[in-house]
């Protein structure tokens, strides 16, 4: 069966309102693990912000420049004036992304948690990382230091390249197919390990069985060279001036090429979903026959 992992929505505004049919079809696609693609929804950079479109703002160590919800910037080499402008630009994107998500999915409003915003001014192609940290390899998101305990990871992206550069992704097979391959191989925690990691500050909160399984999926796929080469996947180039979103804990994805993008992360409890049975937590619980959180 051919992969069909992208759902295109011809939206032209970030704030809605959107009709019932659009909202229902968007939620069905998103919670099925698809990438929602908005080819007519650019994020506009102001004249005073055009000087921020340079990779020189990166400190060269962090993958991205990040902004906490309180406005604090990290990972940059900006002057105080540039840092202030960065915070404003990234804050505007955070507000726009939140408005888009809540206009499309009003049922998420009660449980959604806004996390960090990131600015990605450095070209992906040619950057080298360890295999586990290399996001050019197909993966689902799972974070060793930040246990999710079943919460969803929703991310909104915009390509703001000033010269028309594309952002290239590979998008892979459905989550359940990946889980069947790698969940049985996932490392089980040692006795007291989750408690000890939490106590020592290795993790921000206690890992659940769900988190260990998701780390097994993330690492298993990334470390499997044969899977990376032969797994079902498509290549898609997101042009400058476009926006997209997906649950990155569910959609197999890899970012291969691109420069100058903004990204906003949200966390969402499974209970806020329209189709909680499709979530990675419920898929893995059915597969293992266990309560995982």
Distance CA 138, CA 230 (A): 11
Whether 157 is covered by a domain: the verdict is yes
Question: pLDDT band at residue 191, thresholds of 50, 70 and 90?
Answer: very high
Whether 84 is covered by a domain: the verdict is yes
pLDDT value at residue 48: 86
- Across the range 171-178, mean pLDDT stands at 98
Distance CA 215, CA 220 (A): 8
Number of compact structural domains in the chain: 1
Query: What b/e sequence results for 78-96 when a residue is b if at least 16 CB atoms lie within 10 Å of its CB, and e otherwise?
Result: beeebbebbbbbbebbbeb
Query: DSSP secondary structure string, the chain?
Result: -----EEE-----SS----HHHHHHHHHHHHTTPEEEETT-PPPPPGGGGGG-SGGGB-SSSSSEEE-TTS-EESB---HHHHHHHHHHHHHHHHHHHHHHHHH-GGGTTT-EEEEEEEE-S-STT----GGG-TTS-B----TTS--TT-EEEEEEEE--TT---EEEEEES-HHHHHHHHGGGPPPPPTTHHHHHHHHTSSSSPPPHHHHHHHHHHHHHHH-HHHHHHS-EEEEEE-TT-EEEEETTTS-EEEEE--SEEEEEEEE-GGGSS-GGGSHHHHHHHHHTS---
Whether 1 is covered by a domain: the verdict is no
How far is CA 220 from each of CA 64, 74, 123, 183, 225, rounded to the nearest angstrom?
Answer: 24, 30, 26, 9, 10
pLDDT value at residue 251: 98
Whether 136 is covered by a domain: the verdict is yes
Q: What does the pLDDT look like over 102-122, one tens digit per residue?
A: 999 999 999 999 999 999 999
Whether 52 is covered by a domain: the verdict is yes
CB 74 within 8 A of CB 116: no
Query: How many Cβ atoms sit within 10 Å of the Cβ of residue 293?
Result: 15
Q: Could you tell me what percent of the chain has a pLDDT over 70?
A: 100
Give me the chain's average pLDDT, please: 96
Q: What does the pLDDT look like over 229-288, one tens digit per residue?
A: 999 999 999 999 999 999 999 999 999 999 999 999 999 999 999 999 999 999 999 999
pLDDT value at residue 21: 97
- Across the range 202-217, mean pLDDT stands at 97
pLDDT value at residue 1: 57
Whether 163 is covered by a domain: the verdict is yes
pLDDT value at residue 266: 98
Whether 29 is covered by a domain: the verdict is yes
CB 166 within 8 A of CB 257: yes
Residue 183 has pLDDT above 80, yes or no: yes
pLDDT value at residue 62: 81
- Residue 224 — φ and ψ, nearest 5°? -95, 95
- Across the range 161-168, mean pLDDT stands at 97
Q: What does the pLDDT look like over 19-64, one tens digit per residue?
A: 999 999 999 999 999 999 999 999 999 888 999 999 999 988 888 9
pLDDT value at residue 233: 97
Distance CA 243, CA 37 (A): 6
Residue 176 has pLDDT above 80, yes or no: yes
- Across the range 79-106, mean pLDDT stands at 95
- Across the range 169-196, mean pLDDT stands at 96
Beta pairing partners, 234: 171
Whether 293 is covered by a domain: the verdict is no
Identify the domain containing residue 262 by its residue range: 6-288
């Amino acid at each position: 069966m051919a992969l069909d992992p992208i759902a295109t929505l011809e939206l032209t505004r970030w704030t809605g309102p959107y009709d019932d049919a659009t909202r229902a079809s968007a939620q069905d696609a998103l919670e099925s693990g698809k990438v929602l693609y908005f080819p007519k929804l650019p994020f506009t950079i102001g004249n005073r912000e055009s000087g921020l479109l340079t990779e020189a703002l990166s400190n060269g160590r962090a993958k991205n420049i990040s902004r906490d919800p309180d406005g604090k910037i990290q990972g940059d080499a900006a002057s105080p004036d540039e840092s202030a402008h960065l915070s404003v630009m990234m804050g505007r994107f955070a507000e726009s992304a939140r408005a888009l998500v809540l206009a499309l999915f009003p049922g998420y409003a009660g449980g959604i948690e806004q996390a960090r915003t990131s600015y990605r001014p450095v070209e992906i192609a040619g950057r080298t990382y360890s295999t586990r940290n290399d996001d050019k390899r197909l993966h689902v998101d799972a974070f060793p230091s930040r246990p999710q305990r079943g919460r969803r990871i929703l991310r909104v992206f915009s390509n703001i390249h000033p010269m028309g550069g594309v952002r290239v992704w590979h998008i892979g097979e459905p989550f359940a197919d990946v889980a069947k391959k790698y969940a049985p191989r996932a490392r089980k925690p040692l006795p007291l390990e989750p408690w000890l990691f939490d106590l020592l500050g290795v993790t921000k909160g206690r890992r659940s069985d769900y988190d260990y399984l998701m780390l097994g999926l993330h690492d298993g796929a990334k470390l499997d060279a044969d899977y990376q080469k032969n797994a079902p996947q498509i290549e898609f180039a997101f042009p400058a001036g476009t926006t997209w979103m997906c649950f990155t804990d569910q959609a197999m994805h890899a970012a291969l090429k691109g420069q100058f993008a903004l990204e906003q992360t949200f966390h969402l409890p499974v209970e806020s979903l329209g189709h909680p049975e499709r979530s990675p937590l419920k898929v893995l619980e059915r597969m293992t026959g266990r309560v995982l959180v």
